[in-house]
């Protein structure tokens, strides 16, 4: 169920709902995913993984495994290039610590989480490879693991990396610890702000490690040929990222690596890192044949990047009349085994829904003996919003204020400055809040025993980055569009539609292909809610390039200047003689007579990124006998800027809400004392299904982004930010118990109810 509040629009293609161009292939099974790659000489790879969460590797003996019939190659980290120390430039991806990246692909001196890859085998069948894994002999010195940020930050905690020191406020302290970075954000004077407050609430929060839950496991195939060229077929959100990482880890120039993106069965940020690609490449080099490696579901859960578990301590102050005057936050996010949690993103987002002039945040990146965390839809923001929005709800209760009125009074808007220093351009925060207040859901009454309603707000800054698009004109008046953004949530449609709008064509006349790294200019990750914005911008530029070149061909035919040619819809007209006109299709058939093919190019690094806001309303029912929380109604409101394909926008919102619901009430990694993940299957790691969800209502409030020619804002990240807090606030409204630790599973809810009765 969806409604749309949109500005007056003259668009002919944008805002419509064409069928998805890749739909037939996917519903008929013709689409090829990474595990579908085949070759007549293909070998199958398997990865040996650590049974320990923290241990020194004393020795690895592969002799017995090499002699096993059918085994063609075995590799360890010694088969990778020796990584340089410190930060190094990797392809177009900027600076990174290649030692950490390489050691995560295959462990070096230590294993740092259960499931950490140690060695890999290529054999004539996956069964032989798996059997041979048992013949690899690894001698360990088992160490004590540390599993939470709070534990890891203690002075006597086991140290994961002996050479890693803490950088605080941009300065290397020289202190060896499990805290690679301490970042400080400040605006105004937080302490002075708290002095002005009439109500101050401070709480501590924790959230669990959670997984993105994409349906397709990681898979990669590679061929390292006799010329030294590497071809990779993989499931990824970033073909150029895989190219850069693979080249760096195996020690070849990026020009020697070609990455072919297969169709992708979900990612949500979890398919940005490269886990298997360098492994498959080096196995191929040693065996002389292509090698395919696929993770099992247990491998995915144990060894690919989940979302960060967190510890947070947050304080907010407000005046009697409902004005937020101060905020203070301590965020400690688990990075997993190697540095790089999303704690800075969480800090940048946590107070950004509000015009808060006085705030200070301490953000700690903390390594623990869990798999290296990676992006999970607005990484860091859902956890931080859970803390802030829970306290906001408490403040509203104490001051007896309507929670949406409070948010409207304090809403950030154009010209306001975020705690990380960025000043907002035109944003739709206020408009979305007003729509929430006027929505049928908010105006309705909550009826029923143990039922409650909660609201929460969310923010995500979105991304720009680089994108490239080429458009060639076909003789029949259609065009072929080539792009490098992997299609996860509708890239082909949203990019085609923006090109079609410029060209005056039907969207069906734009044939879009996602191509490999040798066939298009550099294009950034499909993630960060950047693709419809940035690659769409590149398509806009490429389409305009086509139009200008076509104008020159019409001018040639009419023996006039380019400036004398106008183009509208699909017709070129001579300005000085309106009787002279020609359609796009007719002119396309004459290109061979007027100079040959036309190819338009769009290469962009757009700066006008449009931040996104979402405000959610949820009703829940709590079974006080079992502790089960049921979501019975949910409305998600959001500003997409301009909804290119409204159905895709609504689908992104609904999918993110479903994930947020799981995060709030079901999903978590269970670790035993030794650091073993004890629910490494989808039977035990409980994600919500359609049977657990109500109809998810969406309301789109379009406030066009002035930084994009069609007003686009990214939509895929921000809808996962409010659900955690909204559901927690609704549970409080239903049973009078506040939850500061997620998830709110039946056991925790029952315990809280029992404690309340004592």
pLDDT digits (tens, 9 = 90+) for 383-422: 999 999 999 999 999 999 999 999 999 999 999 999 999 9
Residue 516 covered by a domain: yes
Residue 265 covered by a domain: no
Given this model, what pLDDT does residue 91 score?
82
Q: Is 690 exposed, middle or buried (0-12, 13-18, 19+ CB in 10 A)?
A: exposed
Q: Is 505 exposed, middle or buried (0-12, 13-18, 19+ CB in 10 A)?
A: buried
Q: What phi and psi, each to the nearest 5 degrees, are found at residue 749?
A: -65, -45
CATH number at residue 534: 3.30.365.10
Given this model, what pLDDT does residue 2 score?
64
Q: Confirm if 287 and 232 have CB atoms less than 8 A apart.
A: no
At residue 94 the predicted structure's pLDDT band, cuts being 50, 70 and 90, is confident
* Rounded (10°) angle between helices 746-757 and 723-735: 40
Does residue 333 surpass a pLDDT of 60? yes
Residue 684, Cβ neighbours under 10 Å: how many?
A: 11
The helix (H) or strand (E) run that includes residue 646 is: helix 646-665
Given this model, what pLDDT does residue 489 score?
83
Does residue 1 surpass a pLDDT of 60? no
User: Tokens 């020619």 belong to which residue?
Assistant: 709
User: Tokens 């990482």 belong to which residue?
Assistant: 245
Does residue 50 surpass a pLDDT of 80? yes
Does residue 108 surpass a pLDDT of 60? yes
> Helices in 160-202 by DSSP H: which ranges?
190-196
pLDDT digits (tens, 9 = 90+) for 428-439: 999 999 999 999
- Give dist(CA 230, CA 224) in Å, integer: 4
pLDDT digits (tens, 9 = 90+) for 651-708: 999 999 999 999 999 999 999 999 999 999 999 999 999 999 999 999 999 999 999 9
- Give dist(CA 396, CA 732) in Å, integer: 13
Per-position DSSP letters for 359-426, written without gaps between them: EEEEEEEEE-SSPPP---SSTTHHHHHHHHHHHHHHHHHHHT--HHHHHHHHB--TT-B-TTSPBP-S
Q: Confirm if 723 and 608 have CB atoms less than 8 A apart.
A: no
Residue 81, Cβ neighbours under 10 Å: how many?
A: 15
Does residue 581 surpass a pLDDT of 70? yes
User: Tokens 């539609």 belong to which residue?
Assistant: 497
- Give dist(CA 495, CA 483) in Å, integer: 9
- Give dist(CA 334, CA 157) in Å, integer: 14
Residue 329 covered by a domain: no
Cis peptide preceding 743, ω within 30 of 0: yes
**Where in the sequence is the domain holding 564, given as residue range(s)?**
467-604
Structurally, the chain folds into a number of domains equal to: 1
Given this model, what pLDDT does residue 557 score?
97
pLDDT digits (tens, 9 = 90+) for 248-269: 999 999 999 999 999 999 999 9
Does residue 599 surpass a pLDDT of 90? yes
Given this model, what pLDDT does residue 208 score?
98
Residue 139 covered by a domain: no
Q: Average model confidence (pLDDT) for the chain?
A: 97
Residue 419, Cβ neighbours under 10 Å: how many?
A: 25
Q: Which residues contact 529 (CB under 8 A, 6 or more apart)?
A: 460, 462, 463, 612, 713, 714, 715, 716, 717, 718
Given this model, what pLDDT does residue 92 score?
82
- Give dist(CA 246, CA 230) in Å, integer: 9
Residue 493 covered by a domain: yes
Between CA 109 and CA 115, with CA 114 as vertex, the angle to 5 degrees is 90
Residue 705 covered by a domain: no
Q: What is the mean pLDDT of residues 196-201?
A: 98
Dihedral angle of Cα 230, 72, 108, 366, to the nearest 10 degrees = 70
Q: Is 313 exposed, middle or buried (0-12, 13-18, 19+ CB in 10 A)?
A: middle
Residue 529 covered by a domain: yes
Tokens in use for 499?
């090109």
Residue 526 covered by a domain: yes
Share of the chain above pLDDT 70, in %: 99
Q: Is the dihedral of CA 150, 154, 158, 160 positive or negative?
A: positive
């Amino acid at each position: 169920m969806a409604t749309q509040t949109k500005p007056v629009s003259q668009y002919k293609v944008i805002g419509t709902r064409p069928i998805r161009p890749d739909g037939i292939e996917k519903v008929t099974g013709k689409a090829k995913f990474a595990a579908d790659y085949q070759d007549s000489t293909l070998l199958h790879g398997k990865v040996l993984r650590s049974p320990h969460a923290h241990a020194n590797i004393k020795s690895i003996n592969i002799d017995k495994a090499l002699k096993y019939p059918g085994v063609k190659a075995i590799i360890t980290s010694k088969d990778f290039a020796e990584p340089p120390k410190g930060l190094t430039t990797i392809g177009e991806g900027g600076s990174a610590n290649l030692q950490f990246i390489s050691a995560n692909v295959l462990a070096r001196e230590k294993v740092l989480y259960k499931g950490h890859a140690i060695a890999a085998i290529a054999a004539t069948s996956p069964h032989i490879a798996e059997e041979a894994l048992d013949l690899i002999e690894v001698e360990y010195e088992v160490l004590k693991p540390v599993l939470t940020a709070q534990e890891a930050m203690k002075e006597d905690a086991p140290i994961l990396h002996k050479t890693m020191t803490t950088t605080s406020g941009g300065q290397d302290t020289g202190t060896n610890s499990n805290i690679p970075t301490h970042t400080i954000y400040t605006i105004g004077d937080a302490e002075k702000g708290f002095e002005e407050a009439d109500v101050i609430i401070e709480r501590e929060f924790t959230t669990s490690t959670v997984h993105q839950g994409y349906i397709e496991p990681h898979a990669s195939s590679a061929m390292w040929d006799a010329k030294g060229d590497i071809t990779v077929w993989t499931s990824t959100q970033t073909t150029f990222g895989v190219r850069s990482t693979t080249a760096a880890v195996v020690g070849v120039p990026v020009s020697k690596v070609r990455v072919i993106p297969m169709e992708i069965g979900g990612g949500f940020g979890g398919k940005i890192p490269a886990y298997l690609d360098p492994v498959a490449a080096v196995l191929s080099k040693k065996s002389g044949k292509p090698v395919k490696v696929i993770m099992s579901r247990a491998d995915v859960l144990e060894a690919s990047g989940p979302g960060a578990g967190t510890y947070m301590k947050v304080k907010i102050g407000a005046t009697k009349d409902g004005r937020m005057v101060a905020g203070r936050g301590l965020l400690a996010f688990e990075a997993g085994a190697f540095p790089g949690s999303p704690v800075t993103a969480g800090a940048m987002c946590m107070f950004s829904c509000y015009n808060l002039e006085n705030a200070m945040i301490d953000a700690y990146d903390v390594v623990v003996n869990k798999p290296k965390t990676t992006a999970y839809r607005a990484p860091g923001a859902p956890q931080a919003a859970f803390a802030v929005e829970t306290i906001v709800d408490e403040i509203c209760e104490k001051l007896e204020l309507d929670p949406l009125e409070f948010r409207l009074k304090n809403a950030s808007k154009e010209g306001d400055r975020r705690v990380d220093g960025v000043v907002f351009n035109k944003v739709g925060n206020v408009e979305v809040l007003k729509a929430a207040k006027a929505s049928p859901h908010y105006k309705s009454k909550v009826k029923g025993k143990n039922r409650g309603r909660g609201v929460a707000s969310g923010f995500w800054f979105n991304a720009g980055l680089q994108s490239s698009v080429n458009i060639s004109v076909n003789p029949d008046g259609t065009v072929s569009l080539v792009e490098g953004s992997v299609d996860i949530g509708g890239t082909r449609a949203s990019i085609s539609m923006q090109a079609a709008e410029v060209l005056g064509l039907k969207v069906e006349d734009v044939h879009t292909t996602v191509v490999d790294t040798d066939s298009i200019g550099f294009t950034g990750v499909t993630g960060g809610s950047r693709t419809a914005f940035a690659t769409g911008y590149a398509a806009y530029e490429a389409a305009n390039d086509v139009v200008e070149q076509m104008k020159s061909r019409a001018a040639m035919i009419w023996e006039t200047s380019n400036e004398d040619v106008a183009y509208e819809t699909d017709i070129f007209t001579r300005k000085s003689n309106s009787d002279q006109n020609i359609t796009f299709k007719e002119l396309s058939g004459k290109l061979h007579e007027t100079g040959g093919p036309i190819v338009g190019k769009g290469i962009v690094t757009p700066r006008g990124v449009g931040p996104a806001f979402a405000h959610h309303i949820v009703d829940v029912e709590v079974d006080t006998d079992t502790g089960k929380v049921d979501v019975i109604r949910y409305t998600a409101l959001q500003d997409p800027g301009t909804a290119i394909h409204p159905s895709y926008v609504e689908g992104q919102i609904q999918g993110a809400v479903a994930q947020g619901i799981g995060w709030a009430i079901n999903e978590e990694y269970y670790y035993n004392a030794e650091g073993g993940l004890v629910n490494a299957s989808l039977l035990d790691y409980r994600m919500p299904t359609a049977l657990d969800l109500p109809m998810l209502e969406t309301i789109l409030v379009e406030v066009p982004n002035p930084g994009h020619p069609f007003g686009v804002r990214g939509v895929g990240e921000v809808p996962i930010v409010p659900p955690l807090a909204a559901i927690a606030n609704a549970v409080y409204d239903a049973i009078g118990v506040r939850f500061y630790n997620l998830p709110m599973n039946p056991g925790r809810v029952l315990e809280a109810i029992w404690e309340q009765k004592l």
